[in-house]
Amino acid sequence: MKKHIPNAVTCLNLFCGCLGIVFAFQGDLEWASYSILIAAVFDFLDGMLARLLKAYSDIGKDLDSLADMVSFGVLPSVIIYQLFLQSSSTNEWLNFSAFLITIFSALRLAKFNNDSRQSENFIGLPTPANAMLIASLPFIAEQGNMISPYLQNPVFLAVFSLGMGLLLVSEIHLMSLKFSSIDLRKNSNRYILVFSSLILLVIFKFTAVPLILILYFILSFIQFRKAK
């Protein structure tokens, strides 16, 4: 039974992704975004439980990727597709560029599963991080700030989809948030990211995600610069 506990949590991740797709097609983008957030929590927990219980398996690894494909690949594309429909877009084919995120997410997950260089850190933007950014877009669009008009622009949405897709399969080195120890010196950038993210989320809530992602890139650059 012990070895099936992480897989059960992974299935909850998948279930959240399925629910989010339903919410998105119903036009409820806020709950679609919350579904990504809850799925990300389950995605974190299944890995943590697998390590604690030493319940590793090839099935668990594949199941995790399949769940991530739905929750962090398909669901974000559906959210962007709905933003296209809410925009001034008159080109139906341009709207379908939203699903570039799905395609590049599949490539990213396949690359991750077969790249031995990514055992401790990431190469390319992780799919959950990309999905969380996309989950923040409906909230940013509702606030009516300086970024909101861009989210009503179909050309911007198309370029954004392509750009984020390319980041998923890029060769950019990014730090993992897995703590191998509690050592402050070894994990200083991780601690900075975690605590800064909590503060930003308290202040700005979901709209803090773009700022957190920028901070993630900066801290990763500093960490690997030092390592060199």
Domain that holds residue 181: 175-228
Same domain, 134 and 190: no
Same domain, 32 and 78: yes
The pLDDT value recorded for residue 180 is: 57
Same domain, 116 and 216: no
Higher pLDDT, 50 or 151: 151
Give the model confidence (pLDDT) of 139-189 as tens digits.
998 887 778 888 889 999 999 999 999 999 999 999 887 655 566 667 788
Identify the domain boundary among 174, 197, 219: 174
Spatial distance between the Cα atoms of 133 and 86, rounded to a whole number of angstroms: 19
Tally the domains of the chain. 2
Domain of 33, CATH number, reads 1.20.120.1760
Spatial distance between the Cα atoms of 223 and 187, rounded to a whole number of angstroms: 10
pTM score, whole prediction: 0.91
